[in-house]
Structure formats: structure tokens, C-alpha cells
Structure 1
Amino acid sequence: MSRNETSQLVRGALLLTGAGILSKLLSAGYRIPLQNLTGDIGYYVYQQVYPILGIMMVLSLYGYPAAISKLRSEMDTNKGRQTLRNFYFPLFLILLVLNGALFLFIFINAPNLARWIGDTELTSTYRMTAVVFLFVPLLALLRGGFQGEQKMGPTAVSQITEQLIRVSLLITAAIVISVQQLDVYKIGHAAALASGIGALAATVILIILFLKNMPWRHWKGSEVIPWSYYVRTILLFGAVAALNHMVLLVIQFADTFTLLPGLLNFGLSKQEAMEAKGVFDRGQPLIQLGLVLGSSFALALLPNISRTRLVQEPALFYQDIRGSLLFSVYLALGATIGLILIFRDANILLFQNDQGTAELRLLVVSIFLCSVSVTAAAILQGLGHVKRTAGFILGAFFIKWIANQLLVPFLGITGSAVATVLSLLLLCTVTLYELRRKLPHLQFRKVLNFRAAALALSVMTLYVIGMHALVADLLTNRLLLLGYIVWIALTGGGLYVFCLLRLGAFSKKEVRMLPFSTFLLRFYKGREDNERN
């Protein structure tokens, strides 16, 4: 691969990373007004359908396109020609059969799924959700085709368009349901409808770009179609690639099927159990925002990580890896402790009361564990260990499922919080162990400054507690609370980063990897770069 091609690939990966970050922020942000408008019961309904919709979105955005991109690249390498007959049409048929099967399975078994979950009123919602899978084949095919040409722009544009339309329609539906006092179960229908319309809009954009860029001479051909290889790649590589983007999603998926029955066994009535799950799910947008902070800067540094670079530029390779892990650990640690400290106020600000604060503070530990796991897994994937990391995520899913069934009947939503932390702790442990095994010269613990992290966290903690003691009596409404939360998050986070810089948590090279590095270097005081090479 030439230097220009490599540069184009890195820029494309960074573009997708940026689109992914924006999409995650939108995905986290809209749930707050959704809960405010429909209450904990409405939020519970939405969260019961969201994991299935989330799986659809991941398949159409990451799983299938990754497999199609791989096939496209292999055909280019083998000097093959992608035509409608030998590439696009057969792949579309395969995707249509696969997603058609998922549609039929969910649609036919919707009553059984609803009974399994413990809420038969969700039957019609699951049937509407099943229809959304029929939008996946063409959407995923076009995204994969563009990515195979290293054109990431169309995927990024379609992703943001899809998310904006979905969020706008969902919030509009929540307003209508709230104002007209409609049945809150309609928010599940609205979620499915909004996802379908968003996917349709994204598909239209991709079709226009496809027709504009597709050479007309490639629309026909007589090459042999490797059906078995296509099916195998879509099923295996596509499913594995999708699973690697589902860490939080698989945890929520386990809660969808096990939490409500467990709460009923805990002794709650159905209404109380639904409200309790709605309260528990308040933690999801906050964890997602923390995960964006804890892993996005690190993941933005990873597009050029590969086995080839490990051999050709080992010193720079290890420097990038250490920097990625350091940013993930330090930022996720600060976000976790900071959110635990202000969680009661944030709960009241965002969700109008402080219900579930104790349990959700425990759940917030997931930010640190998930951020480090995602960063370590991304490094392993860059080195080619894609199936292994997918296996680790699948293992975390089963641990969460089993732990929910064991703990929730005795501890309620506290049991689910413990189960989440246990499953992510296992994921974090095995990914870091595997990373150490595959990169024995990484020596990450030697560059991790425990003293600097502990002192920076202590200073931030004392500052937040002291500020809260001074202004607690003044926080008499949500507007004042908003101002306080924004102020304490910015100043507390800034103080934490300042302490890390002054206490030598980073080398100069690592600081230069950060945004606004010129400004941050003014506060830097630490060891020389060669101490970390």
C-alpha cells in the first residue's frame, strides 16, 4: 500500500471515528428528554426495545459493511471486477435472506419474547421492531461498497443523517405522547418507526452517491459468483465485527430479558418492577457519555495500528499503544470518580429526582472498566485478533446474564449493577491479559503513574466536596443545578488534568497527541520523553 493510500485510509478511519463520537453523543443525549417526557415507565418501554434496534444499527453500520469492505478489497487485490451481477446483487440477496430470517423470527415469536420478558404488552412493539431489519440489506451493502473503495465520507454522512432523523422523530413522538397523555407503550412503536425512517433516509443518500460514482461499465459482467465464500464471510466476519462494537449493547440486551423477571421474583409488583428498571436504565446515557470521554481520544490514535507497523516501526508503534492506554485509563478514571461524586445532583438535574442514586453510583464504575476494555480490544483488533475479542465480549454477556439471574432476585437493581460491574471486570481483565501476552514488550504498568493519578483524584475529590458544601443550600431549582453541574464538571475536570500534567503523568510526546497540546504544554512538568521509549 502506498503512502497516499495509507494516509487516505487513516483519514477515513478518523472521519468514521468522529462520526461515531457524534452519533454516540446524540444517542446518549436524547434519552434524557425522553425520560423527562414519558417518565420512568416510558423510559422502561423504550429500553426494552432499544437493544434490538441497537443490534440492527450495529449490523448495518459496522458488521455487514466490514465484511463487504473486506470482500471488495480482496477482489481489488486479485484484480477482480465488482459488477452488479457478481458482487452487489448476490451480496444483496444474501443480506436479504439473513435479515429476512431475523425479521420473521422476531415477528412470529414476538408474543413469546414478550412473555419471556414478563410484559405481554410489548408484543406489538417487537413486531414493529422486526420490520426495521428489512431496511438493513441495501443500507449495509452500499456502506460496505464505499468503504471497500476507502471512501468513508458516505458512511459518515449517512450515519449522522440516520441518527439525527431518528432522534428528532423520537423526541417529537415523546412530546406528543406527553402532551396528549397517550399510552406510554406507543413510545416503543415510535422508536421502531423512527429507526426505520432514519435508515430509509440514510439509504436514499447512499443510493444517490452510488449512482453518481458507480462507473456504468461495471453494471454488467459474467464472472463466476463465489456464493459459499460470500455467505461465510458475511456470517462469520460480519457477525464478529458487529460484536466488537456491542460491549454496552450486549449488557443492555441481557437486562432486557432478565431484569424485569428478576425484579418480580425480588417481590416487586409489575408496575414497581417496570419503574425500577426505568430508574436503573438512567445510568445508560451517563455511562455512554463517560465512555465517549474515556475511549474516544484513545481510539482516534488507533487507525494506523497493524502487525506491519509493529514490525516496521516498533518504537513508534509501542509509543502510540502506551499513549492510547494512558489516555483511556486516566480520563476514564477521572470521569468515573467525578460522576460518582456529583451523581445525586446529576440525577436530579437530568431525571427530576434522586431515585436509584446509590445503585447507579455503583453502576458508574462501568465507565472505567468499559473504557479500558474497549481501548484494549481495539488494539487487539488492529493486530488481527478480531474473533478473540468478540469471544471475550460474548463471555461478558453470558456472565452478565447468569449474574443477573442469581443476584437480582435477592438484591433488586443493586444486583444488576453488581452483575454489570462483574461482567465488565472480567472483560477488562481478559483483554488486558491478552494484550500483555500478545505485546510482551509493552510494559504498560511501568509508564502508568499511580502516584500522580491518586494525587490528582484526591485533589479533584476534595475540590468537588468542598464546592458542594459551599453551594448546596443555594441549589433550589434545576436551572441553578444546571449551572453548578456544568461549572463543577469543567473546573473539576480541568483541575484533574492540570494535576496530571504537573505531576508527570504523561511524557511530552504523549501530551502532544492531545487536542490543544500547545496550551497544555504550558502546564507540563514531567519526565523526558526518552524515559518512555
Structure 2
Amino acid sequence: MGESFRKVKGQLFMNGRESQRLLRGALLLTLAGIISKILSAGYRIPLQNLTGDIGFYVYQQVYPVLGMAAVLGLYGFPTAVSRLAVDVKERGYTISLRGFYVPVFILLTGFSSIAFLLLYINAGNLAALVGDPELSKVYRWSAFLFLLLPITSVLRGTLQANSQMEPTAFSQVGEQLVRVSLIIIAAVLVSLHGLSVYTIGSAAVFASAVGAGAAIIILAFFLAKQKPQAKGEAVVPWLYMGKTLLMVGVVAALNHMVLLTLQLADTLTLIPALREYGLSLTEAMEAKGVFDRGQPLIQLGTVLGSSFALALIPEISQKRVRKQWEAVQYEIQGALLVSFYLASGAAVGLITIFPEANILLYQNDNGSTTLQILALSILLCSLSVIGTALLQGAGAIKRTASFIAIALLAKWAGNLVFVPWWGIAGSAWATVISLLLLCLMVYSSLTREFPGLKFFEKIRWRTLLAALTIMVIYLIIMEMLLPARWLDSRVSLLFYIMFVSCSGGAFYLYILVRGHAFTEEQLHMLPLSKLFIHIHRGRKIDGQK
């Protein structure tokens, strides 16, 4: 009896340690994702400053291809490989080179080779489709990135199957650091030596390849410690392997491509639609480059709005497995509310100060009105990202992927209809409408998945409206007090933007906290949580008095 008790106790201890390890690993992956997003958004600003709007346009035209390859190698195929590895272990077999690594690698090489050939052969047709034949060479070079996917996917997938998330996190940040550094160096060379702006496209492909190489080195270092077994029997049928790798890999990747799919629609449709609107090719390229200024700002705003909420997802998933439904719904509600409040403030604040921010970041205020419309995407994209992540954690992976595909089609159709009428502003409205549609689908599905979820009912609309109004009035007054000479100096604008952003954000958060928009548990998700909780409790004390 005592021996049995010790065994059960030991098993529970091991399970607890495993759960803690998984939670730490998932949080580390979330942190790595946030760092990567900040890097990905930040380097675009000096890139545009150095190469101009046309150089930025060239980069953004090739970026969706680079992004798709990166997402497949980081999330898509590794998820499928990890699932296969877990299947093999559950059957009582050992992961071996001959029985697992080699078959999976061969199948992934087959899929990647098909993608490579399709893009390489049709690079000219793709360039013609997007309306710029000069891009054919860049697209042809970008095809080679797909040939690296089998290596990174097998390494990441097998390590994740062993509950080792650290290698994926370190390799993700390392890959991004190398890629960003090389792209900035290339932009400097283009600017100093007057090279063709299309050089930045080829340089971006090269930087992505070198970054992937750095990730492979980091991952191989971790895998070498495990010394995988060489011999072993292939226990999973090749057909099942192939179907799992393809279906799970593509669906899992699509769930991480909300912004990327919309950028893909812009890449394929915007230049031809702007030509139909009446712009020349050069004017259309410049307009697309100006429009793309909004992408890093949306990315940064989305990180601000969703990062704290996304950090809760591992814990939510863990409680869902334990069937603690009331706790799951409460934490989902908290994650959504934090994301909604932060993203609302970021979107409205950015819209208010956008002309000055545009001059600060991009040296002029071209396209400010269009980009103010696009800034609405910060709120919608933040809600979409956290909503799709929650649905994915609930197991609705295919359904979530279908929602993103529908949003892509809506954006595509919106560009074709609105841009010939309204020019580049039409694309901004198409983005907003497609993201709104995605939000409606996602939250309708979340409500069905978690019937007790009362997200919109829990929003304190009066407090939110008061906080937004006071913040906007404050920002407008500060703008009226801004000396005209400050607009001529980017250094002066930098201090002004930093000051009004921080002070305006502080006013906004203070009113929300003072107005009881958050619970104390939700405030723990924020930085300076002790200060916010003190303000929150002060409201209670005042009420009692």
C-alpha cells in the first residue's frame, strides 16, 4: 500500500513538473514572439528612411513570400512534426534517424521542392500579376528559401515533441536578429552607393536565408545534446505522415498569418488597382510604399494590445485540459478585456497624433489621412489575434484557418472594388472591413465554444468613452500648443511624441483603472501592477467613504 502511494505521489510530482515545464516553455515562446514582432516592426522605419517609399514598396512586395516561408518553418511544419513525434512515442516506439527523421525529412523535402519549383518557374508570371515585371528576379531568388524548411522544421518539431520550447524561442530571436541586421546594412549600402532600389528585395531574400542558417545552427546545437538513436523501425505509414505534415502544417501556419494574408492581398492586387484608378506605375509604387508605412505601426500596436493577453493562453489551455471551465472563461474574458482596452487606446491615440508621428518616422506627412483610417486596424487586429489564438487553444484549428481565409478573400475583393473608386484610401477601408468580418466570425465562434463568455457585456463603455475623450482632448490641446518650428526638427518631434504618448497613455490608463474597468486579477497582467492596484483600491475606499 505504502509503495503504491509513493508511486502515485511520484507520478503526480512528475506530471506537475512537466506541466510547469510546458507552461514556462510556452511563456518563453510568447516572449520570443513579442521580441520578434518588435524587431520586425522596428527595422522597417530606418529601411524606409534609407531607401524611400519606392524602396520600401519593393521590400513589402516580396515580404509576404518571405513571411510565409518563415511562418511555415517556425509554426506550421514544426507543429506537424511534433504531432507525428508524439504519435510515435505514444505507440511505445523510439524516435530514430531511420524510422522517423529520414522519412519526415524526405516528405518535407518533397513538399518544399514543389513550392520551390512553382515559385521559381512562375516568378515572371507573379511579377506580371502584381504589376511590376522588375520583381521577377527577386521572386525567383525567394523560392530558394523553401528548400531550407525541411531542416528547420524537423529540428524544431522534434525538440518541441520533447517539451523543449527553449530551442525554438532562441532560434526565433537569433534568426530575426541576423535577418534585421543584414537588411539594415543592405539599406545603408543602397542609400550610400545609389544602388537600384530592387537590390533591397534581393538583399531581403539573402538576409532571410542567412537568418534561417543561424536558426539551424542554434537548433542543431540543442539536438546534438540528445544524441538521437540511429536505427529504428518506421512505425507510422508514409501516407499518414504526408497527410499530417501537409494538412496540419498549412492549417497551423495559416493561424499565424492574420496580418500577412492581408499584406499578400495588397501585394497581388494594389498596383493593378491603383493603375486602374489612374496612377502611373511610379505613382502607384510610391502610393503603395506610403500605404505600407502603416504596417509597422499596426504591428507595434497589435503587440501592445495582445501581448499581455497572449501570455495567459498557456494557463488557459492547461485549465481547459483539467476541465476547469469557469476559470477558463474568466481568464479568457480577462485576456480579451485587457487586449480591447489597450488596443482601443493605442488606436485612438495614434489616429490623433498620426500627422506628427508620420513626419517623425517617415520624414513627411504623406498619406496621413489614409493611414489614420488604417490605424483602426490596431484594435481589430489585436482582437483578431487574441481571438484566433484562443480558438486555436480550444482545438478549433481548421475553423480558425477558414475564418482567416474568408478574411483574405474579403480583403482581396475589397481592394478590387474600392481602390479603383477611392484610390489608396480604398485599400485602408478594405483592410478595416476584412478585419471587422474576421472579428465577428471569431467572437461568434468563441461564444459558441464558451457559452458563459460575456465579453461585450463586461466592457465598461462609459468609463472607456470618458478615458478616450479626455485623452483625445489632451492630445489636441498639446498639439495646439506645439510650436511650428518643432515640425522642422525630428529631434524635437521625437521628444514631443514620446512625451504626449506616455502622458496621454497614463491619463487614459488612470481613468480606466480609477473607473473600475479592470479587476485586480486583470491588473496583475500589466506592468506597474502594484501602482495600478493601489489606484484601483483607492476608488473602492472613496466609494466607502
Percent identity over the alignment is: 52
Question: Alignment partner for residue 511 of structure 2, among 495, 499, 502?
Answer: 499
Match of 2:259 in 1: 248
For the residue of structure 2 that corresponds to 1:440, the secondary structure is coil
- CA offsets 1:155-201 (integer angstroms, 9 cap, x no match): 11111111011000000001001100011111000000000011011
Code of the aligned partner of 1:497: L
Q: Which runs of 4+ in 1 moved over 4 A?
A: 525-528
Q: Distance in 2 between matches of 1:443 and 1:45?
A: 44
Question: Alignment partner for residue 156 of structure 2, among 133, 138, 143?
Answer: 143
Matched, 1:430 2:441: yes
CA gap of 1:372–1:254, structure 2 versus 1, over 3 A, is same
Q: Distance in 1 between matches of 2:295 and 2:183?
A: 17
Match of 2:62 in 1: 49
Match of 2:99 in 1: 86
Q: Decide which moves more: 482-491 or 72-81.
A: 72-81
Question: Alignment partner for residue 158 of structure 1, among 171, 177, 188?
Answer: 171
1:301 Cα deviation from its structure 2 partner: 0.7
Tell me, yes or no, if the aligned pair for 2:100 and 2:234 is still in contact at 8 Å. Answer: no
Report the count of equivalent residues: 526
Root-mean-square deviation over aligned CA pairs? 1.4
Code of the aligned partner of 1:296: S
Tell me, yes or no, if the aligned pair for 2:288 and 2:424 is still in contact at 8 Å. Answer: yes
Q: Distance in 2 between matches of 1:59 and 1:526?
A: 49
1:334 Cα deviation from its structure 2 partner: 0.4
For the residue of structure 2 that corresponds to 1:306, the secondary structure is helix
Map residues 332-351 of structure 1 onto 2, 5 A cutoff.
Answer: 332-351=343-362
Q: Distance in 2 between matches of 1:244 and 1:527?
A: 41
Tell me, yes or no, if the aligned pair for 1:504 and 1:526 is still in contact at 8 Å. Answer: no
Question: Alignment partner for residue 31 of structure 1, among 31, 39, 44?
Answer: 44
1:446 Cα deviation from its structure 2 partner: 2.6
1:225 Cα deviation from its structure 2 partner: 4.0
Code of the aligned partner of 2:503: T
Code of the aligned partner of 2:131: G
Match of 2:128 in 1: 115
Match of 2:312 in 1: 301
Match of 2:7 in 1: none
Tell me, yes or no, if the aligned pair for 1:48 and 1:256 is still in contact at 8 Å. Answer: yes
1:310 Cα deviation from its structure 2 partner: 6.8
Code of the aligned partner of 2:409: F
Match of 1:227 in 2: 238
Match of 2:4 in 1: none
1:312 Cα deviation from its structure 2 partner: 3.1
Unaligned runs of 5+ in 2: 1-11, 541-545
Unaligned runs of 5+ in 1: 529-533
Q: Distance in 1 between matches of 2:271 and 2:474?
A: 39
Tell me, yes or no, if the aligned pair for 1:392 and 1:430 is still in contact at 8 Å. Answer: yes
- CA offsets 1:389-446 (integer angstroms, 9 cap, x no match): 1100000000101111111111110110011011001001111111111111112223
Code of the aligned partner of 2:113: G
Q: Distance in 2 between matches of 1:268 and 1:446?
A: 46
Tell me, yes or no, if the aligned pair for 2:27 and 2:311 is still in contact at 8 Å. Answer: yes
CA gap of 1:467–1:201, structure 2 versus 1, over 3 A, is same
Tell me, yes or no, if the aligned pair for 1:61 and 1:159 is still in contact at 8 Å. Answer: yes
TM-score normalised per structure 1: 0.96
Tell me, yes or no, if the aligned pair for 2:514 and 2:539 is still in contact at 8 Å. Answer: no
Tell me, yes or no, if the aligned pair for 1:503 and 1:526 is still in contact at 8 Å. Answer: no
Match of 2:401 in 1: 390
For the residue of structure 2 that corresponds to 1:312, the secondary structure is coil
1:369 Cα deviation from its structure 2 partner: 0.6
CA gap of 1:190–1:497, structure 2 versus 1, over 3 A, is same
Q: Decide which moves more: 66-75 or 126-135.
A: 66-75
Match of 1:320 in 2: 331
Map residues 487-526 of structure 1 onto 2, 5 A cutoff.
Answer: 487-525=499-537
Tell me, yes or no, if the aligned pair for 2:130 and 2:268 is still in contact at 8 Å. Answer: yes
Match of 1:531 in 2: none
CA gap of 1:526–1:424, structure 2 versus 1, over 3 A, is farther
Q: Decide which moves more: 517-526 or 189-198.
A: 517-526
Question: Alignment partner for residue 364 of structure 2, among 353, 378, 382?
Answer: 353
Tell me, yes or no, if the aligned pair for 2:127 and 2:133 is still in contact at 8 Å. Answer: yes
1:382 Cα deviation from its structure 2 partner: 1.0
Question: Alignment partner for residue 381 of structure 1, among 352, 374, 392?
Answer: 392
Match of 2:376 in 1: 365
Match of 1:416 in 2: 427
Q: Distance in 2 between matches of 1:473 and 1:273?
A: 32
Question: Alignment partner for residue 449 of structure 1, among 460, 463, 468?
Answer: 460
Q: Decide which moves more: 75-84 or 280-289.
A: 75-84
1:317 Cα deviation from its structure 2 partner: 1.4
Tell me, yes or no, if the aligned pair for 2:88 and 2:235 is still in contact at 8 Å. Answer: no
Tell me, yes or no, if the aligned pair for 1:306 and 1:384 is still in contact at 8 Å. Answer: no
1:30 Cα deviation from its structure 2 partner: 0.4
Q: Distance in 2 between matches of 1:443 and 1:307?
A: 21
Match of 1:237 in 2: 248
1:311 Cα deviation from its structure 2 partner: 6.0
Tell me, yes or no, if the aligned pair for 1:505 and 1:526 is still in contact at 8 Å. Answer: no
- CA offsets 1:452-510 (integer angstroms, 9 cap, x no match): 11111111111111111112424130000001111111111111111110000011222
- CA offsets 1:121-153 (integer angstroms, 9 cap, x no match): 111100111111111110111011111111111
